[in-house]
Every structure is written in structure tokens, then in C-alpha cells.
Homo-oligomer: A and B are copies of this chain.
């Protein structure tokens, strides 16, 4: 369970981050420094630095003289994270539409849409298609964030993105209808960007993220069945 020999604090943080998001460290679990240092074969100093980074990224909580623990996110916090994401990704989208995107970037986004189309055209989501679709989805959103020209958006959205991942790992986006609807959003969003319609692109992305949040909340809470209204 040791990591590669060239270990810097950032590497350790990334390593632990993966394992936390994978659910290997349960929410609320204490992150003992000596235990981790023995587990990874590294001294406590870089471990501490990595834990501090993760705490500042919001994945761990820290109490003085009591150490770090995996942060637990309430349902309300997950909802709050999606609310913020919706606004920030909408802003990124609007910025992209406003100042326009380079042809190469647009081509890459269109390629994302085409891949999603191919996967969804089967009418059913094969298990082996899940990872490619997720990667495509990440690239689509990340591209808009980075190409918005506003560096804060990406940083904050990534922090928000961790929240549901760290809370519970019992959700899979396997519902074909939900994904198809979400992917249709992508089409309309990119179209609005190409048309340089910032207002529309912004509104579409906001609802797109809010819809994802709604679906996730429904999966996590299990009972909320109230419909999610979408504006055209």
C-alpha cells in the first residue's frame, strides 16, 4: 500500500484525496498521522502538510490538538454545493459565450457531444460506457471552466465537486433517461455558446447543474419525489 518513491507533499495529498473520494476512509474517520506515515512509509512531516492541504480544500476538518478527520457533508451542504456550482458554472458558460471560444476549443467540445451521442445512441448504457461518458462529461465542464478566463471559477467549482463525492459513494449515474436529458442540455448549451447568446447559455447551464443536483439529492435522500421544473 505504499506509493511511488518520489513523494512530495502534493503527491501524498492527491493520493489520500483519491482514497478518501473512493470511500476508503469513511466520513468522520480520524486521520492519524503516525498511522498514515507507517501505512505509506513516509515520515509525519509531509503527511501533515498533505493533511493540511486537504483540510484547506475542504475534504478534511481540523481541530487543534485533535488532528484531522474526514469531513462529513450533510444533505443540506451537498445541496448548497450544487447551488453554488450552478451559479459559477453558469457564469463560466456565459463568459465563454460572451467572448467566444477558439475554433479548436469548439471542435473539442463538439467531439465531446459526438461521443456522448454515440454512447447514448445504443439506447442503453453499457457498463463499459460509463467511464468514457463520465470522462467526456468532466472534459466538457472543465473546458468551459478553464476557457472562461476566470481562474477562480475552476478552483471553486472543483471544491464544490468534491462535496458529493466525499459524502457517500452509493450513487451511479446509470439511468439512461437522466443522462440523455443531461446530454441534451450539453447540446443546447454549446449551441447557445456558438450563437454567442450569453444570457441563454448561462440560464441553460444553471438549470443543467441544478438538475444534476436535484437528481443526486433524490438518490441520496430517497424520498423527495417532487418534480424539478426546468425553464426552456
Contacts and interface: CB of A to CB of B under 8 A. Distances in A.
A173 to B, nearest CB: 23
Interface string A77-103: 100110110011011000000000000
Contacts of A64: 8, 10
B77 A84 contact: no
Contacts of A140: none
Interface stretch (A21-29, A52-60, A107-115, A179-187): A52-60
A160 B150 CA distance: 12
Most buried by B among A64, A76, A151: A151
Contact of A87 (B53, B91, B151): B91
What is the interface of chain A mostly: helix, strand, loop, or mixed? Answer: helix
B84 A153 contact: yes
Interface in A125-175: 149-153, 155-156, 159-160
A134 B49 CA distance: 36
A33 to B, nearest CB: 13
A149 B80 contact: yes
Contacts of A83: 91, 150
Given A88-B84, A156-B84, A151 B77 contact: yes
Interface in A1-54: 8-10, 45, 48-49, 52-53
Contacts of A152: 77, 80-81, 84, 156, 159-160
Contacts of A159: 152, 156
Interface of A: 8-10, 45, 48-49, 52-53, 56-58, 64, 76-77, 80-81, 83-84, 87-88, 90-91, 149-153, 155-156, 159-160
14 contacts: A8-B64, A48-B49, A52-B52, A52-B53, A52-B56, A56-B57, A58-B155, A76-B149, A80-B149, A84-B88, A84-B91, A84-B153, A156-B156, A156-B159
The 4 A-B residue pairs with the shortest CB-CB distance, nearest first, are: A56-B56, A80-B150, A84-B152, A87-B87
